[in-house]
Amino acid sequence: MRRLLLLFAILAVGCMEWDYGLEEDFNFEASERGLFICNEGNFQYGNATLSYYNPDTRTIENEVFYRANAMKLGDVAQSMTIYDNRGWIVVNNSHVIFAIDLDTFREVGRITGLTSPRYIHFISDEKAYVTQIWDNRIFIVNPKRYEITGYIDVPRMTMEQGSTEQMVQKGKYLYVNCWSYQNRILKIDTETDTIVAELEVGIQPTSLAMDCNGKLWTVTDGGYDGSPYGYERPALYRIDPETMTIEAMFEFKRGDAPSEVQLNGLGDTIYWINDDIWAMDVTATNVPVRPFLDSRGTIYYGLTVDPVNEDVYIADAIDYTQPGKVYRYTKQGELVDEFYVGIIPGAFCWK
């Protein structure tokens, strides 16, 4: 719902104005651990920003893209992926993917000409896939040359209701959830760039992850009351990617809007947002009785788990208007840090 919500989400202008005019020199150790936070900003307001957090020193740097490049990041920073010591930031409504140096945050290149990109996934040094919304194609790009080299057409998908979203790879197969006005998981052969199988799940699978047993997890949001695409109880699914069959399904209450399936570094515990933050063993037969962390009555919008020490980070969009906040908890649920970032923090990316 996030992107569509923003169509009418209301925005305040009068936000902070940075007026550096100069490129700031960052130089972070290449070996240092770090967490990037994509702050989407308000749709159509061009106020997306990038934040950088050092989990060891507990320091946060905001607006690092602007400060390093003396250039705004753009409109709706949707996600970031690291490959080959470069950060690839997908800026949805600016139709661009920026590549930055991970130590200086300086731009080293960009891929343009994208429709409405959401995520980038690297197949090799010379090939990556870019998913889109409001487009029925997954774009194939050459990240070395920053060029679009082809498309994978998704069958039975119109441009208007087009949505391909998160990507997870196992061997030569890539799995993609189709979210907005969709209900499918795609299986793509990355050698031939063709869709070889599809699996229908519930209404609007929001996210995708793979656990230590090689099983796929997705959670649907169930649509919304009055949606032309339907409205049902959302559910969490465990899927066998080999056979593309549903192994387990955990239903939620109608009206719930779960999202953001994430795994810890070991891949044995799954986390997701459903107003509260929930955690569950990947072999569990039931959703636990109590959430991992209770809601604060605000809008939990992003979630990640430190792959090393399993700390849980939650992005709170608060009200979609003011700068959002990130809360850091231990695996045991103790709050260890909290810090302000940019407007509508959504996606995280571990360095």
Partner 1 sequence: MVIASSCNRDEVITTQPAPEIILEDGGVYSVKVGEEVRLAPDYRNAEGATFEWRIGGEVVCTERAYVHMAESVGEIYVTLTVANNTGSDTEEMRIDILDREIPTIDIAMADVTVAVGYQRLIAANVRETELETAIFWSVNGEKVAEGLSFIFEAKAAGTYVITATAKNADGEASDTVTITAVAASELPFIYEFDTTKYRTTAGRNLRIAPSKLSGSEGVEFVWELNGSYTGDREPYLIFNSDLVTMHTVRVTASKMVGNTPMAVSHIFTVDVYPEGEYRREREADSSTEFSHIVEYTPAPGQFIGDLKTGGFTGEELTMEAAVAYAEERLREGNWVSLGAFGGYLIAGFDHSVENREGGDIAILGNSFDGSSEPGIVWVMQDENGNGKADDTWYELRGSEWGKAETSLDYAVTYYRPSGAGMAVQWEDNLGGSGTVDYLKSFHTQDYYYPTWIAADSYTLRGTRLEARNYDASGNGSMWIQPAYDWGYADNNSSTDCLDAVNSLDISNAVDCTGQSVELDFIDFVKIQCAVQAKSGWLGELSTEVCGISEIMQ
Question: Min. distance of Cβ 230 from partner 1 in angstroms?
Answer: 12
* Closer CB to partner 1, 104 or 321, in the complex: 321
Residue type (1 letter), 338: E
Give CA–CA dist 281/21, Å, rounded: 49
Interface with partner 1 by CB under 8 A: which residues?
1, 4-5, 7-14, 43-45, 160-161, 181, 223-229, 231, 253-255, 257, 285-290, 297-299, 319-321
* Closer CB to partner 1, 102 or 246, in the complex: 246
Give CA–CA dist 191/313, Å, rounded: 35
* Closer CB to partner 1, 48 or 210, in the complex: 48
Question: How many CB atoms within 10 Å of residue 266?
Answer: 12
Q: Which phi and psi (to 5°) does residue 182 adopt?
A: -135, 170
Question: Min. distance of Cβ 319 from partner 1 in angstroms?
Answer: 5
Question: Min. distance of Cβ 199 from partner 1 in angstroms?
Answer: 23
Question: Min. distance of Cβ 14 from partner 1 in angstroms?
Answer: 3
Give CA–CA dist 333/90, Å, rounded: 31
Tokens of 250: 């955990």
* Closer CB to partner 1, 21 or 226, in the complex: 226
Question: Min. distance of Cβ 168 from partner 1 in angstroms?
Answer: 26
Name the burial class of residue 148, with classes exposed (0-12), middle (13-18) and buried (19+) by CB atoms within 10 angstroms of its CB: middle
Question: What is the DSSP secondary-structure string of 70-132?
Answer: SS---S-EEEEEEETTEEEEEEGGGTEEEEEETTT--EEEEE---SSEEEEEEEETTEEEEEE
Question: Min. distance of Cβ 320 from partner 1 in angstroms?
Answer: 6
* Closer CB to partner 1, 1 or 197, in the complex: 1
Question: Min. distance of Cβ 226 from partner 1 in angstroms?
Answer: 5
* Closer CB to partner 1, 26 or 134, in the complex: 134
Q: Which residues contact residue 153 at a Cβ distance below 8 angstroms, ignoring those fewer than 6 apart? A: 136, 137
- Residue of 307, 351, 298 lying closest to 326 (CA atoms): 298
DSSP 321: S
